[in-house]
Amino acid sequence: MSENTHNVIFFDIGGTLGSPRISPFPYRLEGLDVYPYVLDILRQLRERNSRIGIISNIGDDKPENVTRVLEKCQIYDLFDSDLIIYGAKNSSEIFQFTARQAGHSDTPNQCLFVGEDSHEQSYAIQAGWRVVPHPCLVWDVLNGSHLRYIRITVPSDRSEQGWQQVIKSLPVVPLYVTGDKGNQVYAIATSQAAMRLDDLGFAVDRLGSEDDPLTTEVYLVTAHLDSTAASDRPYDAKNDPAPGADDDASGVAAVLGLAEVIKELNSLNPSKRTIRFVPFNAEEHGLVGSQAYARTQAAIAAPIVGVYQMDMIGYNIEAPRSFEVHVGYAKCDNVQQRSLVLAQRLERLVSVLSPRLEHPQIYTQPDPAEGRSDHASFHQRGYAACITSEDFFVGPDLTSPEAEPNVNYHRKEDNPVLSLWEKPLPESLSELYFWVFGYKFQFLLEKKSSKLD
């Protein structure tokens, strides 16, 4: 095939073109709810003679089945059938292969990958491709626009004037809305769109650096607000005390403390990632709060790349200062693998940043904490998540230090304990998270030696 100079645009399917409906095991694609804006974008690209393809991991599903689903939702014919590539996007190889198919082995930068997954984006970049995280950004990027993470503040005098419609009409992907009056929007936008917003009188802060797709990543730091003393029988939830100092005021305290310090750090040296601090209610009733939250986040395809839940991090009476990180998820190895990366990051950093702590005891499946804290709600939606706790469980290895479960677990005696922990674990976790969230190491060391100490 001869080389050519035209752009070829490859779309991921699930989470980019639409929301997939997957059958029970053995998994296969049953349907695709195409996002409302997708059809217009694909048609526009076709009208301007762009070649468009698909690059998608269909697992053990059959290509004929995926084709049937795409035909059924009337988008199959818009793609160049030679450019529909199925395979795992777990290295740059498939992108190199695809570029060859498109006649761009020597000009891979003519290939554009449209997909929301930042790991896949990074493999595409390694192969010399350009990437965009969302279909609505494609056209501007093809026309030379750059991507930027922005914060839009709506001026108070136009708060009633349908500003949401204005933002919606531009190549802007809102990530979330905040501010006292819901008048601040964090978003990914093209440089063209950011300038247009300037012209329209919005205050636009450009965050991060240009064309850094990783800036679309969102991390959550979480804990649960409720408590129980259900192990004391009889227990009347309406009237009996359940102080929950360890379970989980310890986790909530760490979330709040971290939020405070990160707010200060951010004003000096903005993080490259979005960090949300999310306390959940009704965990002890079956992860009710986090289930609702994870469901709505999945519905808007929120780019959450990691959830760090902290549940019971306050109890450590005797040495050593051992702690656990749980990532086990039997239903999906891929989710567990991505969650394990979160835990391994903590492990790598412990000895550098927090020599006061033992190395974490990392539990993969079989995991006694699987499904038992708010991280599980995210596992179920395909997000990477882990939970950190004191050394509650026996294991994971025969050689692991002896477990030290809180004797007051789910009892009315779960009051504050003075212990070897006190501060080391929450403080150390904070230090680890700073690094995970992309603050510069040197900056942290300087801060640590001055104010944070």
Nearest residue to 147 (alpha-carbon basis) of 199, 193, 198: 193
Least distance in Å: CB of 409 to Zn ion?
9
Least distance in Å: CB of 324 to Zn ion?
13
Q: Please give the C-alpha separations between residue 308 and each of 184, 221, 280, 341, in angstroms, as whole numbers.
A: 25, 5, 13, 12
Nearer to Zn ion, 217 or 374 (CB): 374
Least distance in Å: CB of 422 to Zn ion?
19
3-state secondary structure of 310: strand
Least distance in Å: CB of 376 to Zn ion?
12
- Is 246 a binding residue for Zn ion by CB under 5 A? The answer is no
Exactly one of 116, 120, 248, 404 binds Zn ion (CB under 5 A); that residue is 248
Residue 201 Ramachandran class (φ > 0 left, ψ -120 to 50 alpha, else beta): left
Nearer to Zn ion, 120 or 390 (CB): 390
201-220: contacts with Zn ion (CB under 5 A): none
Quick one: 162 exposed, middle or buried, by C-beta within 10 A (0-12, 13-18, 19+)? Answer: exposed
Binding residue count for Zn ion, defined by CB under 5 A: 3
Nearer to Zn ion, 311 or 324 (CB): 311
The answer to whether 243 and 412 have CB atoms below 8 angstroms apart is yes
28-47: contacts with Zn ion (CB under 5 A): none
Q: Which stretch binds Zn ion (CB under 5 A): 53-61, 147-155, 243-251, 290-298?
A: 243-251
- Is 390 a binding residue for Zn ion by CB under 5 A? The answer is no
Nearer to Zn ion, 311 or 390 (CB): 311
For residue 92 the two structure tokens come to: 């740059």
Least distance in Å: CB of 407 to Zn ion?
15
- Longest Cα pair distance anywhere in the chain, in angstroms? 78
272-311: contacts with Zn ion (CB under 5 A): 311
Q: Which stretch binds Zn ion (CB under 5 A): 244-252, 267-275, 344-352, 408-416?
A: 244-252
Least distance in Å: CB of 333 to Zn ion?
26
- Is 247 a binding residue for Zn ion by CB under 5 A? The answer is yes
DSSP H stretches of helix in 9-136 = 38-47, 63-72, 93-101, 118-126
For residue 222 the two structure tokens come to: 């979480």
Nearer to Zn ion, 61 or 414 (CB): 414
Q: Please give the C-alpha separations between residue 395 and each of 344, 390, 448, in angstroms, as whole numbers.
A: 17, 13, 34
Residue 77 CB neighbours (<10 A) = 10
What residues make contact with Zn ion under the rule CB under 5 A? 247-248, 311
